[in-house]
Amino acid sequence: MRVNNLTEENHLSRRAFMSTLATTAALLPVAGLANKLLPANPAKTDRPICVFSKHLHWLTIPEMAKNVARLGYDGIDLTVRKDGHIEPAQALTELPKAVAQIRKAGLEVPMIVTDITDPRHPLTEPLLKAASQVGIKYYRTGWVKYDPQLGVVKSLEKYKKQFQELAALNQKYNIHGAYQNHSGSNVGAAVWDLWEMFQDLDPRWMGVQYDINHATAEGSASWVNDLDLFKNYIRCMDIKDFYWAKKEGKWEHQLVPLGEGMVDFKKYFNLIKQYGISGPMSIHFEYPLGGADQGKKQITVPKDEVFAAMSRDLQTLRSLLKEAGLA
């Protein structure tokens, strides 16, 4: 599992920081010009279905866009983070190019995935500004860990202030930041702990990228309470499925193709409809796919095997949405 790499110990030196600021100032006019040249595609749906680009790191952005469009998706959930399709330090120049290439293929880029958690990190504001300038409306934040020295309560108090500052920055650039609930031991695994940080924030600027897979893993039945709690804070969603598998005497969270696991998508999408939740959906393919599942730059299976999996999950999701009256 990826954890946020924009921590205090990774902060740039003063000299590097000043250099970054100087580079940012020089490139902003370029980013602004690029924005004027990018045709924004009209939304085909209020719930566009996207491919999480982590699983296509083995393709260039133009190749990825061509194939994702061929498969029938609406858009791409683009990785703009360390080892992603775009490195955060290159976002000012590379993000406009990438968005233009993806839109040329007839796709949307409604959302991106980042490592952002610290509003004061020198790369945070330039990245948000670049994303806003090219019309991206949503981004996923990085994750934060509980500090064993502070404990749960004090850690949440610390992060609450941090995300308040980040929400203000999101408002400045008219973009929504979303924290993904992810099973494990980090902040957000239990989901309720995010409520302690976000309940006083404006959901237009800060919320949860709801992951029904991880919510089910942490609360097989109680996830419905989490969804009710955050229904006004959800602007985008992750879609994947799993079941518990016992291997060598230990139970593991086994990711599987959509519809083959234990996630109750019927109940989930009925509630999504009931609560009026909309926004882009990002399908994740984290079951064995020759390294594509892990975001590798090289894969060990035929590319058509990856595309077949993506096509299959897309059709499954569309069927589930249609059954729930959401398509």
Mean predicted confidence (pLDDT) in 175-189: 95
> Which pLDDT tens digit goes with each residue over 92-149?
999 999 999 999 999 999 999 999 999 999 999 999 999 999 999 999 999 999 999 9
Of residues 310, 290, 308, 241, the one with CA closest to residue 77: 310
State the maximum Cα–Cα separation within the chain, in Å, rounded to a whole number: 58
Pairing of strands 176-180, 138-140: parallel
pLDDT at 45: 82
Query: Which range is least confidently modeled, 67-76, 227-236, 246-255?
Result: 246-255
Mean predicted confidence (pLDDT) in 168-194: 96
Query: Which range is least confidently modeled, 5-14, 178-187, 226-235?
Result: 5-14
Domains of the chain: 8-323 (3.20.20.150)
Mean predicted confidence (pLDDT) in 207-216: 97
**Burial degree of 237 (CB within 10 A; 0-12, 13-18, 19+):** buried
> Which pLDDT tens digit goes with each residue over 282-300?
999 999 999 999 999 999 9
Q: 315 Cβ partners below 8 Å, 6+ apart?
A: none
Instruction: Return the percent helix, strand and coil in the chain, to nearest 5.
Output: 45, 15, 40
Of residues 144, 137, 138, 236, the one with CA closest to residue 197: 144
